[in-house]
Amino acid sequence: MSFNADIKTLGFEQMHEDQVEAFLTLIDAALNLASAVDDEEVFEQMHQVAEDAVILFGGVGIDIKFKADY
C-alpha cells in the first residue's frame, strides 16, 4: 500500500482508548488465525495487511514475536 497520498485520517491519538484496544485486538486475532493456517505465505500476507492498517492509523508497524507451543 502506498502512503504517499495526501489524505486526512483519524489516528490512534484521536481515537478513544477502547477503539484503539478493539482495533488492536482485531489485528491480533487476524494474525493468530493466519498463523493457525500453517502456511507462511498466508501469514506474511496477513502481516502486511495488518501492518499497513496500523501505519495508516499513525502507528509505526507491528513487531511479531513467536512463542513456542509445547
Tell me, yes or no, whether 50 lies in a domain: yes
User: Quick check: is 27 in a domain?
Assistant: yes
Residue 9 forms part of a structural domain: no
Q: Note the pTM of the prediction, 2 decimals.
A: 0.77
Q: What does the mean pLDDT of the chain come to?
A: 87
The number of folded domains in the chain is: 1
Distance, CA of 40 to CA of 25 (rounded, Å): 21
Distance separating alpha carbons of residues 47 and 53, to the nearest angstrom: 10
3 — pLDDT class (breaks 50, 70, 90) = low
pLDDT in tens, 34-68: 999 989 999 999 999 999 999 988 888 999 887 77
* Region 5-31 average pLDDT: 88
- Residue 53 CA to residue 28 CA, distance in Å, equals 12
Quote the CA–CA distance of 59 and 14 in Å, as a whole number. 12
Rg (C-alpha) for the chain, rounded Å, is 14
